């Protein structure tokens, strides 16, 4: 029986292992002092915060030199690598090394964010919501005030300004970021070495991956001058060391009610897995047809398989009675406390409101996923077409009335994506669009009137071919023209893909409106619960992850598995031994370069290590730092028992997995001959 | 726009291309005379019928020597190859060649059937159904009379005796088969050469597969003396030659009503694909972990991927408005004819009855698939456990009251499977059972009371491990003991897997009872429609496929694809060219043996060819014969446009794909050095 820690019932400061994705403006100083005799000073926190990077493509990273050098995972950088690749240069598979500054390649649409400040704007947001407003009116009012705060902040500071919803609606904080959009690729290993062991070893430990990728931030055409960067530890951490993780966990669901978790378990996760399994089979089969197909689908296939294995693990967590029973017991106990408390009745009623909203959302979730989440239209072209269509409609509205992604404060990021020169492959587009239209028809029924209009008298594959062959949204100049021309230009283009997006837009928007209304209702209910929890249990806690900067705290520690001790470190030696034991067969093969140079590395150098830091997807690429704030490793995964951390943390077996900083130094020098990069890591200055 | 031929509205003898899976007791003699100037004599048909073989594991074959040598596809024989394989000997991957009679290996549970006679028993079956009986009572009466006829025939003739339902219930024929259960493996190529091009080339043409497997039937410990075998043509067929296929198409759905096809399109096929995609991803991921995993899962993975691609193609057919609109028009036209005919009202009403029954079946189909079809319990052990449980319960009932698979006439075949010494791998069992229990929970909801009882307070994976670790049904002696001991012994064993089967048996049986009742209702309705169709359009037609022997008629013919002519033949030369063009990368790689000996083969020798013969899954391994009844090839696939033949035939692009007899002779001699087998093919006698 696994012990699951449930923050819901944990009084502050109780011994609660290393759970927590802490806000940088509400760090657990007392706990750190008590448990680890560590004093987290403002300066220490500020330096770490400003060294940490968010990859807007999904992931984390950190600055490691004063000259803009930064590090993340290969699998975070793979999106950029894929977009830069050509039939002649497969950077994802073969890696990349810029031997001189001139060879550093500019990424096509990569945006990095560095958090400058956090401001609690909860009172201002809540004050703007009329009393007794319907959920729909409350949502509109909240959207308006958030857009206003963001725009005001952007105008005042020039910084990217996002109001973040915390505690499922219990608080609203304004996050201001410095943006970097001239980001250049400096170094990537071959994917096989970054992802040695492939899908079989993904989310497993022991592990042997050099999952790193180096970029350099530029400003005004020159390497950015960076004040806050992490000093690189050439030796890495030791067993039992206290290590921190500063990164951007994308989302967790620990505060969800049992009703919400049940809906995830029985509907949302099985549906997502159905789509992912389907897409994985489709991409595997297509990739097997030719080397060029495999190159084109490479990053998409990695992403799909990675998500599939992660969701399998999460679903297994929800299907583990130990976890779910603990959740039910915790909720029942807290409700009993509420029932006994004078101020508890609103929070008690909130549970029913959440259950009611969850039921409504469940009733429309398949359609919502197919239409608004566009899972029935899996193609880049459809996304571009819909963005153009909606940009035309939304941008003429007042800032506070628009769909969130079209607000003034997000304009630059929206345009970066919309005008990206990334390659779009018609054959792959036809494949995924045709398959997703088939999925749509299967889910909605072939006689559904909207499905019939979508297919327009053709089979899904014929229709996909026709759409992709005839749309012009693949052309960046065409997109720019329509975006600048607004709704009139969009309508005048009569582009078939845009017209398809228009055909389904009423349905999509109706589904989204209901989604937003019910989400607002849930947020208000969660806010009531959060208020009662803080009153009853104290406020020293952390909210669910929201792809914003968090601090995790843990120690380098092995664990027991089936009665066997799993030590916390692997080494270059265990990597070579594993490849040999598997006869160098994929996915356990060393690349030719590694085969040639394997004797150069010290077999005792640590390669990967595990720690008890509380992380989740989005933390990939997060720096791991020691007490001195030195970079000792980089998060790239969690093990299988960590996957249910989406719902509850347990350090019985769950672990974060990192590449050791010692391995990075050694591989750059001895395998890749990148002495200048090695030097830049160790000195914090580019020798170039 | 594709032209789909719909037998529903085709008057007999109209020019209807080469459509038809003809009954051997109702061959289209007149059509053959008219269209091909061919006289199908009784002797010609009788010889072909008795040379044709049904593989009870699913597939077709034929005798090709007087000494019991027979041929089928590698992918039909793969079931036997897999069961004979060990970690040391991977016959599926590496192939097999018995260099002497003593080296021929006995298959573990392979049953071959050779059709001896067909008898129309429709009047006797229908006379046993009480007038105005409810569907449920009618089903019981029909089961009783069928069991009686089968048992009577078995006792009289000693032959396997199956009453087959034709025309969806319009007729009942008694098929009598000679059984062979001592079947020995003689030769198989490497799977890579049988399945060159892998999944990408599966169901495609041009094609380059040596998809053959040779066995020998034994009787009383000696090679069987075979009267009827096919003379082998060393040269194969020529373009435009008339060629026949005698094989066992498993099932088609051409006579289904629009209501039934719609249910297939919107529910049954999407559900099956969901399960298949999931299983494919699971097996691929597990196979990547080690060479031994890959060996264990090899045949299952092939089967899953093959079914997935076939069903994708079928679903595409149903989602092609050209096909579905033609079906709707044909049904509307026929209903108009019925409305105008005096005897038409019963048939008209039958359409509504079918729609009603289809709706009821649709309402329970997910549960039916999960429980009675055991898709929630994917493991050999569960199937064995349920067979033991039910055998205990059923065998004490009167023969006519039992579930069909436990009737006296099927006893030998049931026992062959139940007592098979085939290997069962606990790790693979845990994998598939755990995943299918997760699927079950996702489909039924984790709070479903029966699901909770099934999981017994554990997660799906924990529960699967516990069940597989503790059940004894893997032991053949244990199974024999319980089977002989009957229900009492089964209960006394307290075997956890059997108890799981018991736990779900009430639910499963209830679902099955409703399925049988509604199927009976549909059969009666289809019989009424069939009667009206025969009255209005004449009786010279063929029923949907039922895994019984059928005759297909066609010509060796290429087709046009995207404006390009696809010639009907590929050759050894085009195989070698393809491998070279793909740089010998999997799945387009030649095996080491072929790489070594490729220069020995004549590049002009035909390898595969296409013809217009009307086939479907189950026809794999069917002999292709010329006017003289000579073996000129062996069916192994249909191309993508043939996949919708499940619903309607079209020869515009749809083609059957065969291995050319010339390629077989040449590969056996020049690549595999199997001169004795080559000689046996050419002389019809074993030189051994």
B582 interaction partners in chain A (CB closer than 8 Å): 290
Tell me if A441 and B308 make a contact (CB, 8 A cut-off): no
Which has the closest alpha carbon to A257: A316, A338, A311?
A338
Residue A441's H or E segment, with its range, is: helix A426-444
* Contact predicate B261/B318, CB 8 Å: yes
Q: What is the mean pLDDT of chain B?
A: 96
Q: How many CB atoms lie within 10 A of CB A393?
A: 17
The nearest alpha carbon in chain B to A319 belongs to: B459
**Site from B275, B280, B281 to mutate, A interface, most A CB atoms within 10 angstroms:** B281
Q: Check residue A8 and give its pLDDT.
A: 46
* pLDDT lower than 50: segments of chain B: 1-2, 7-15
CA-based Rg of chain A, rounded to a whole angstrom? Answer: 25
Inform me whether the pLDDT recorded for A280 exceeds 60.
Answer: yes
Inform me whether the pLDDT recorded for A124 exceeds 80.
Answer: yes
Q: What is the pLDDT of residues B182-199, one digit of tens each?
A: 999 999 999 999 999 999
* Contact predicate B655/B641, CB 8 Å: yes
Q: Which residues are paired to A555 by β-bridges?
A: A242
The nearest alpha carbon in chain A to B305 belongs to: A281
B305 interaction partners in chain A (CB closer than 8 Å): 281, 285
Shortest distance, CA A285 to any CA of chain B (angstroms): 6
Distance between CA atoms of A543 and A249, rounded to whole angstroms? 11
Q: Which residues of A313-352 are buried (b: 16+ CB within 10 A; e: fewer)?
A: bbbbbbbbbbbbebbeebbeebeeebeeeeebeebbebbe
SS3 B27: coil
- The CA–CA distances, whole Å, from A285 to A367, B308, B319, B421 equal 27, 11, 21, 34
A288 interaction partners in chain B (CB closer than 8 Å): 198-200, 586-587
Q: Which two tokens stand for residue B452?
A: 């909770």
Q: How confident is the model at residue A5 (pLDDT cuts 50, 70, 90)?
A: low
**Site from A198, A283, A319, A320 to mutate, B interface, most B CB atoms within 10 angstroms:** A319
B460 interaction partners in chain A (CB closer than 8 Å): 316, 319
Shortest distance, CA B325 to any CA of chain A (angstroms): 10
Residue A398's H or E segment, with its range, is: none
Cis omega (within 30 of 0) for bond into A436: no
The length of chain A is: 688
Q: Check residue A534 and give its pLDDT.
A: 84
A291 interaction partners in chain B (CB closer than 8 Å): 583, 585
Could you say which of A266, A281, A321 has the minimum Cβ distance to residue B281?
Answer: A281
Distance between CA atoms of B343 and B535, rounded to whole angstroms? 9
Residue B150's H or E segment, with its range, is: helix B135-157
Q: Percent of chain A having pLDDT more than 90?
A: 95
**Site from B192, B265, B277, B295 to mutate, A interface, most A CB atoms within 10 angstroms:** B277
Distance between CA atoms of B342 and A635, rounded to whole angstroms? 79
Shortest distance, CA A445 to any CA of chain B (angstroms): 5
Q: Torsions phi, psi of A606, nearest 5? A: -65, 140
Q: Check residue B615 and give its pLDDT.
A: 98
Q: Which two tokens stand for residue A506?
A: 């009423």
The length of chain B is: 688
User: Which stretches of A37-101 are assigned E, i.e. beta strand?
Assistant: 52-55, 59-63, 69-72, 96-97
Tell me if B318 and A447 make a contact (CB, 8 A cut-off): no
Distance between CA atoms of A399 and A415, rounded to whole angstroms? 16
Q: Check residue B543 and give its pLDDT.
A: 95
Shortest distance, CA B316 to any CA of chain A (angstroms): 7
A305 interaction partners in chain B (CB closer than 8 Å): 281, 285
Q: Check residue A13 and give its pLDDT.
A: 39
Q: How confident is the model at residue A540 (pLDDT cuts 50, 70, 90)?
A: confident
The nearest alpha carbon in chain B to A462 belongs to: B320
- The distance between the two most distant Cα atoms of chain A, rounded to a whole number of Å, is 72
Q: What angle do CA B338, B343, B346 make, to 5 degrees?
A: 75
A438 interaction partners in chain B (CB closer than 8 Å): 312, 315-316, 319
Cis omega (within 30 of 0) for bond into A634: no
Pair type for strands A656-660 and B656-660 = unpaired
**Site from A195, A259, A262, A288 to mutate, B interface, most B CB atoms within 10 angstroms:** A288
Tell me if A321 and B457 make a contact (CB, 8 A cut-off): yes
Q: Which two tokens stand for residue A530?
A: 């959060």
Could you say which of A262, A285, A309 has the minimum Cβ distance to residue B447?
Answer: A262
The nearest alpha carbon in chain A to B320 belongs to: A459
Sign of CA dihedral A130, A135, A141, A147: positive
Q: How confident is the model at residue A15 (pLDDT cuts 50, 70, 90)?
A: very low
Shortest distance, CA A669 to any CA of chain B (angstroms): 31
User: Which stretches of A107-149 are assigned E, i.e. beta strand?
Assistant: 112-120
SS3 A640: helix
* pTM for this predicted structure: 0.95
Burial class (CB in 10 A: 0-12, 13-18, 19+), A37: exposed
Q: What is the pLDDT of residues A642-685, one digit of tens each?
A: 999 999 999 999 999 999 999 999 999 999 999 999 999 999 99
Shortest distance, CA A330 to any CA of chain B (angstroms): 18
Which has the closest alpha carbon to B240: B582, B570, B626?
B626
The nearest alpha carbon in chain B to A204 belongs to: B289
SS3 A23: strand
**Site from B204, B276, B285 to mutate, A interface, most A CB atoms within 10 angstroms:** B285
B583 interaction partners in chain A (CB closer than 8 Å): 291
- ipTM attached to this prediction: 0.94
Tell me if B288 and A443 make a contact (CB, 8 A cut-off): no
Residue B273's H or E segment, with its range, is: helix B269-287
Distance between CA atoms of A21 and A646, rounded to whole angstroms? 12
The nearest alpha carbon in chain A to B586 belongs to: A288
Could you say which of A200, A285, A315 has the minimum Cβ distance to residue B199?
Answer: A285
Provide the 8-state DSSP code for B300: H
Q: How many CB atoms lie within 10 A of CB B525?
A: 25
- The CA–CA distances, whole Å, from B292 to A16, B289, B296, B427 equal 43, 9, 6, 11
SS3 B337: helix
Q: Which two tokens stand for residue B137?
A: 């009572």
Q: How many CB atoms lie within 10 A of CB B225?
A: 10
Q: Which residues are paired to B175 by β-bridges?
A: B118, B162
Tell me if A269 and B442 make a contact (CB, 8 A cut-off): yes
A281 interaction partners in chain B (CB closer than 8 Å): 277, 280-281, 305, 308
Q: How many pairs of residues across A and B have Cβ atoms under 8 Å apart?
A: 123
**Site from A277, A287, A435 to mutate, B interface, most B CB atoms within 10 angstroms:** A277
B290 interaction partners in chain A (CB closer than 8 Å): 582
Provide the 8-state DSSP code for B230: P
Tell me if B442 and A315 make a contact (CB, 8 A cut-off): yes
B316 interaction partners in chain A (CB closer than 8 Å): 438, 459-461
Q: What is the pLDDT of residues B550-594, one digit of tens each?
A: 999 999 999 999 899 999 999 999 999 999 999 999 999 999 999
Q: What is the mean pLDDT of chain A?
A: 96
Relative orientation angle of helices B291-318 and A426-444, to the nearest 10 degrees: 70
- The CA–CA distances, whole Å, from B227 to A169, B64, B224 equal 82, 10, 10
Shortest distance, CA B581 to any CA of chain A (angstroms): 10
B315 interaction partners in chain A (CB closer than 8 Å): 438, 442
**Site from A281, A432, A462 to mutate, B interface, most B CB atoms within 10 angstroms:** A281
Tell me if B270 and A442 make a contact (CB, 8 A cut-off): yes
Distance between CA atoms of A189 and B58, rounded to whole angstroms? 48
Distance between CA atoms of B509 and B541, rounded to whole angstroms? 36
Q: Which residues are paired to A223 by β-bridges?
A: A218
Shortest distance, CA A207 to any CA of chain B (angstroms): 13
B587 interaction partners in chain A (CB closer than 8 Å): 288
Tell me if A200 and B324 make a contact (CB, 8 A cut-off): no
């Amino acid at each position: 029986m696994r012990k699951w820690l449930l923050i819901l019932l944990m009084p502050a400061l109780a011994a609660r292992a290393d759970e927590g994705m802490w806000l940088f403006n509400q760090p657990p100083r007392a706990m750190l002092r008590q448990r680890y005799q560590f004093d987290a000073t403002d300066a220490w926190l500020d330096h770490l915060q400003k060294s940490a990077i968010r990859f807007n493509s999904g992931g984390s990273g950190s600055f490691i030199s004063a000259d803009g050098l930064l590090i993340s995972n290969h699998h975070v950088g793979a999106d950029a690598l894929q977009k830069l690749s050509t039939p002649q240069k497969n950077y994802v598979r073969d890696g990349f090394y810029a031997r001189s500054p001139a060879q550093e390649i500019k990424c096509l649409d990569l945006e990095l964010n560095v958090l400058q400040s956090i401001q609690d704007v909860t009172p201002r947001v809540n004050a703007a919501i009329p009393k007794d407003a319907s959920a729909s009116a409350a949502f509109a009012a909240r959207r308006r005030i958030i857009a206003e705060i963001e725009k005001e902040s952007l105008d005042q500071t020039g910084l990217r300004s996002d109001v973040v919803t915390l505690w499922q609606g219990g608080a609203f904080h304004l996050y201001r970021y410095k943006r970097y959009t001239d980001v250049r690729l400096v170094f990537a290993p071959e994917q096989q070495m970054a992802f040695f062991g492939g899908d079989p070893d993904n989310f497993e430990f022991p592990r042997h991956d050099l999952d790193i990728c180096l970029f350099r931030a530029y400003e005004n055409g020159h390497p950015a001058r960076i004040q806050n960067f992490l000093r690189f530890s050439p030796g890495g951490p030791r067993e039992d060391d206290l290590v921190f993780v500063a990164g951007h966990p994308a989302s967790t669901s620990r505060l969800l009610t049992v009703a919400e978790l049940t809906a995830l378990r029985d509907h949302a996760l099985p549906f997502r897995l159905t789509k992912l399994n389907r897409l994985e089979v489709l991409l595997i089969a297509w990739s097997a047809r030719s080397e060029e197909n495999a190159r084109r689908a490479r990053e998409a296939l990695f992403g799909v398989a990675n998500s599939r294995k992660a969701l399998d693990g999460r679903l297994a967590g929800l299907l583990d009675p130990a976890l779910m029973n603990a959740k039910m017991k915790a909720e029942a106990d807290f409700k009993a406390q509420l029932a006994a408390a004078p101020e508890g009745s609103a929070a008690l009623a909130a549970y029913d409101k959440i259950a009611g909203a969850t039921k409504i959302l469940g009733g429309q979730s398949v359609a919502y996923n197919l239409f608004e989440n566009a899972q029935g239209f899996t193609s880049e072209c459809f996304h571009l077409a819909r963005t153009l269509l909606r940009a035309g409609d939304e941008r003429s509205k007042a800032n506070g009335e628009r769909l969130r992604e079209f607000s003034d404060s997000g304009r630059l990021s929206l345009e970066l994506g919309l005008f990206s020169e990334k390659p779009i492959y018609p054959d792959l587009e036809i494949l995924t669009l045709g398959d997703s239209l088939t999925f749509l028809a299967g889910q909605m029924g072939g006689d559904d009137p909207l499905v019939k209009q979508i297919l327009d008298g053709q089979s899904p594959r014929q229709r996909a071919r026709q759409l992709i062959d005839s749309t012009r949204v693949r052309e960046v100049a065409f997109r720019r023209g329509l975006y600048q021309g607004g709704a009139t230009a969009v309508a005048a283009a009569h582009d078939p893909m845009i017209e398809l997006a228009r055909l389904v837009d009423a349905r999509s928007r109706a589904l989204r409106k209901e989604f937003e209304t019910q989400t607002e209702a849930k947020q208000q209910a969660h806010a009531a619960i959060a208020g009662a929890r803080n009153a009853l249990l104290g406020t020293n806690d952390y909210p669910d992850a929201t792809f914003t900067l968090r601090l995790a705290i843990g120690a380098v520690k092995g664990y027991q598995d089936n009665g066997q001790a799993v030590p916390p470190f692997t080494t270059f030696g265990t990597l070579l031994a594993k490849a040999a034991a598997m006869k160098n067969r994929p996915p356990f093969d060393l690349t030719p370069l590694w085969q040639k140079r394997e004797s150069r590395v010290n077999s005792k150098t640590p390669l990967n290590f595990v720690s008890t830091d509380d992380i989740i997807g989005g933390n990939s690429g997060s720096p791991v730092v020691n007490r001195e704030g030195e970079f000792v490793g980089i998060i790239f995964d969690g093990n299988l028992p960590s996957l249910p951390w989406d719902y509850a943390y347990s350090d019985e077996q769950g672990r974060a997995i990192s590449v050791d900083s010692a391995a990075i130094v050694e591989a750059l020098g001895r395998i890749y001959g990148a002495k200048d990069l090695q030097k830049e890591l160790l000195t914090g200055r580019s020798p170039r």
